[in-house]
Structure 1
Amino acid sequence: MTTTRPAAFSLRSIAVPAFGPALLFSIGEGAILPVVALSARDRGASVAVAALIVTLIGLGSWFFNLPASLITLKFGERWAIVGAAAASAVALAAAAVSPLVPDGIWLLAAAMVVVGMAASVFSLARQKYLTEAVPVILRARALSTLGGVNRIGIFIGPFIGAAVMQFGGITAAYWAGVVAMAAAAALSVTIPDLAAVPGPADGTPAPQPTLRSVAASHAGVFLSVGLGVLLLSALRASRQVVIPLWAEHLGMDATQASLIYGISGAIDMLVFYPAGKLMDRKGRQWVAVPSTLIMGTAMLLIPLSTGFVGLLLAALLIGFGNGISSGLNMTLGADFSPDNGRGQFLGLWRFMADAGATGGPVLLSGVTAAASLGAGVGATGVLGFAAAAVFAITIPRLRHRRNY
């Protein structure tokens, strides 16, 4: 029997409609993330309330992962992506006009919740789309590129926001986000439809699984590989807090801390595609284990740093480890997701990942409060070694080649 070679497919053929909206959406997010807390403060919020409003984005995304899977199932990947980008544009417009509204702090808070919810739908739908549109042999490269594009957008978004704020103040950053989100929605309309999956020969539609049935039938995956994903997400989220906190601990000013963070982020963006290629050719373990070991080691080195150079070297190591793991969570989710019930599975998968992303900084804060910042950083470093051990044991070698 002759089969079509997966190599005949080219990522370039779907590059603009598949990755363009993701870039624009993340640019919109990046443009507003640095100013949300400042906006809240301008509207009279305390420091604690301002921090909470920023956190609402992540909480909205986390808790909406499961409904997001149902929305994607109902409307399809393309229209879920379009709707999520449009909803985010409307939410950012509401945030922009919140200073004109009495008690505008509540409107700002509601807008951030909607942005988080929209991000959940957008991310799940685009992951599901690429999982089904791209041949398995190119899956890691496609999803690593998706993760890398998101990093690029988050990186350059603040610069765009800073540029427009020179002319229109903080509100201009939100309008920049509106433009980016609206452009993402418009470009998403061009996403090609997926080929229809042939139904059963007798014409009887296959029963649709529920979130509960998928959770029960794949409990082994969630409690094994899923645990590694949770630990990796906790490690990733913690690194974003650790670098500026340790820089402050060493007495550095905001400019030095930002420089270290920015250089680490630049390294992060340079290695995503080679890592995806390695995962496709050698297997997921070749990236999952080294990346978590590298980040865990770097975290343990941070408390040993005593100056700018030492912290910079540790941050570069973190950036490299995080960069090569770009798309890893999405790739593993795609690998283990069933053909029937993929949306529900990915919703549960993303829920676990976001739980880790929320719990990592909480662990850092708790250990720091109980002991010291150095101990807190060390505790987050241990997460990397734990994740590496889980991945080494639970990821079957070359399992992603099961389809051919």
Structure 2
Amino acid sequence: MPSPSAASTSSSPSPFSLWRIAVPAFGPSLLFGLGEGAILPIVPLTARDLGASVPIAALMVALIGIGSLLSNIPASLITMRWGERWAIVAAGVWSGLGMLICVRTSHLGLFAAGCFMVGMSQAVYNLARQSYMTEAVPFAYRARALSTLGGVMRIGMFGGPFLAAAAVHAFGLAAAYWVGIAAVLGAAAIGARIPDLEVPPAAPGQVQARTTILSTLRDHRRVFLTLGLGVLLVSAVRASRQAVIPLWADHLALAPSTASLVYGLAGGVDMLVFYPAGKVMDQKGRRWVAVPSMLVMGLAMLLMPLTSGVAAFLIASLAIGFGNGIGSGMIMTLGADHSPRHGRAQFLGVWRLMSDIGSSSGPALLSFLAASLSLGAGIAVTGLVAFAAAGALAYWIPQRPVS
């Protein structure tokens, strides 16, 4: 007969492991990233084939971001109504339908609608996956889980264009969209198999008030007006980095192959450091990663206009990639930390809206400054914005995470 100690040991729950939930938790993110990454380089080329001018072709790409920006609040309502699991499934199906419209239509207006649908699905998926992981993962592993979630999505976005390139080479331009459709429908299929989350019961004798977007803004206005503004600045800097490296490479008159290699190496560094950074956030606190992330990116962007050769340009680009990489999942983690148990979807919808506003305004500011002053001045100002973001995060992130 086993001893009581042995019995208690055998019946005690095993410790939580991210590896055990890797496929259902991170598989959809990898596939969703592959799907979007596969079509992004092809969208402007398809638009040009449909008769669009160069500015209109660029607008087709922007419509994906605009669709995401405008759909954050509706995404919170969808997630609240259907639950995280079915919101993830719906996002994959809707994205696949948008891509199908893009590949089958010969009308530029319908093509634009398909691109907008892909952006809409992006908002729904991102919010639902963040909400699900916030509930499903123990607090002690939250930053690692959300950093991995962001990192896996980036790996998919990085690999998608290579899969699309092979498909396009073999079967033509339309093949990229079929790769994307297969990937996002695969994400939906895996998402359909994840278990539903249990709705927390209300306290005995207590009736929970109905949560709305307006009540969420009112009840959490201090967080949105302090840490939320810091997150907006972070998003502006991180979105700008995607234009800074290729634009400065062009300024230095580097060969396109060299510019692509530097951009790829920076992306590789970006993808290597997300898990260690998440572990530091879990064990030491969010400030230990959030603030250095912005300081490294700010310093690298201030030094970027001073570079005049390939070696210095590569070092600055790698530093930008490293700073961005350690910040993977940072915005999602901070949003999860401050989101209430009741009304979480609405809170995260507003949180993601602020993040997307920053992502849209950062490249716009860089473009305005480059046109009115110079490209170097625009990059340097973006670096100063990163320092401002670091200061805001250092001041407003709590010493200990809010569980």
Q: Name the structure 1 match of 2:310.
A: 308
Which of 166, 172, 184 pairs up with 1:169?
A: 172
Q: Name the structure 2 match of 1:257.
A: 259
Counterpart-to-counterpart distance in 1, 2:272 and 2:14: 24
Q: Name the structure 2 match of 1:151.
A: 154
Q: Name the structure 1 match of 2:8.
A: none
TM-score (norm 2): 0.95
Note if 1:320 corresponds to 2:322.
yes
Amino acid paired to 2:125: F
Q: Name the structure 2 match of 1:54.
A: 61
Which of 33, 37, 40 pairs up with 1:33?
A: 40
Q: Name the structure 2 match of 1:373.
A: 375
Aligned pair count reads: 393
Q: Matched residue of 2:41: which SS?
A: helix
Give the Å deviation of 1:198.
2.0
Q: Name the structure 1 match of 2:358.
A: 356
Counterpart-to-counterpart distance in 2, 1:5 and 1:284: 31
Note if 1:21 corresponds to 2:25.
no
Note if 1:108 corresponds to 2:111.
yes
Q: For structure 1, which runs of at least 5 residues remain unmatched after alignment?
A: none
Following superposition, which runs of at least 4 residues in structure 1 exceed 3 angstroms of deviation? Answer: 4-7
Counterpart-to-counterpart distance in 1, 2:325 and 2:213: 32
Note if 1:97 corresponds to 2:101.
no
Q: For structure 2, which runs of at least 5 residues remain unmatched after alignment?
A: 1-10
Note the alpha carbon deviations across 1:59-84, whole angstroms, 9 max, x for none.
00011000100000000000000000
Amino acid paired to 1:384: A
- After superposition, the Cα gap between the structure-2 partners of 1:205 and 1:7, relative to the gap in structure 1 and judged at 3 Å, is farther
CA contact (8 A) 1:87 1:118 kept: yes
Counterpart-to-counterpart distance in 2, 1:341 and 1:39: 41
- After superposition, the Cα gap between the structure-2 partners of 1:7 and 1:318, relative to the gap in structure 1 and judged at 3 Å, is farther
Q: Name the structure 1 match of 2:294.
A: 292
Counterpart-to-counterpart distance in 1, 2:98 and 2:219: 37
CA contact (8 A) 1:208 1:340 kept: no
Counterpart-to-counterpart distance in 1, 2:158 and 2:191: 22
Counterpart-to-counterpart distance in 1, 2:362 and 2:199: 40
- After superposition, the Cα gap between the structure-2 partners of 1:6 and 1:257, relative to the gap in structure 1 and judged at 3 Å, is farther
CA contact (8 A) 1:6 1:137 kept: no
Q: Name the structure 2 match of 1:123.
A: 126
Note the alpha carbon deviations across 1:55-113, whole angstroms, 9 max, x for none.
00000001100010000000000000000001101111111112xx3xx2111110010
Counterpart-to-counterpart distance in 1, 2:196 and 2:21: 11
- After superposition, the Cα gap between the structure-2 partners of 1:5 and 1:306, relative to the gap in structure 1 and judged at 3 Å, is farther
Note if 1:80 corresponds to 2:92.
no
Note the alpha carbon deviations across 1:252-277, whole angstroms, 9 max, x for none.
12211111110000000000000000
CA RMSD in angstroms, aligned pairs only: 1.4
Counterpart-to-counterpart distance in 1, 2:380 and 2:263: 19
Q: Name the structure 1 match of 2:18.
A: 11
Q: Matched residue of 1:181: which SS?
A: helix
Note if 1:213 corresponds to 2:215.
yes
Give the Å deviation of 1:205.
4.7
Give the Å deviation of 1:195.
2.6
Counterpart-to-counterpart distance in 2, 1:6 and 1:148: 29
Q: Matched residue of 2:42: which SS?
A: helix
Note the alpha carbon deviations across 1:26-47, whole angstroms, 9 max, x for none.
1000000111111111111011
Counterpart-to-counterpart distance in 2, 1:170 and 1:293: 41
Counterpart-to-counterpart distance in 2, 1:270 and 1:240: 18
Counterpart-to-counterpart distance in 2, 1:196 and 1:32: 37
Counterpart-to-counterpart distance in 2, 1:258 and 1:97: 31
Note the alpha carbon deviations across 1:148-194, whole angstroms, 9 max, x for none.
00110000000000000012211110010011011111111111111
TM-score (norm 1): 0.95
Note if 1:69 corresponds to 2:76.
yes
Give the Å deviation of 1:196.
3.2
- Percent identity of paired positions between Structure 1 and Structure 2: 57
Counterpart-to-counterpart distance in 2, 1:194 and 1:106: 39
Counterpart-to-counterpart distance in 1, 2:12 and 2:73: 35
Give the Å deviation of 1:225.
0.6
Amino acid paired to 1:156: G
Counterpart-to-counterpart distance in 2, 1:208 and 1:155: 41
Q: Name the structure 2 match of 1:339.
A: 341
Q: Name the structure 1 match of 2:397.
A: 395
Counterpart-to-counterpart distance in 2, 1:390 and 1:21: 33
Amino acid paired to 2:249: A
- After superposition, the Cα gap between the structure-2 partners of 1:385 and 1:135, relative to the gap in structure 1 and judged at 3 Å, is same
Q: Name the structure 2 match of 1:329.
A: 331
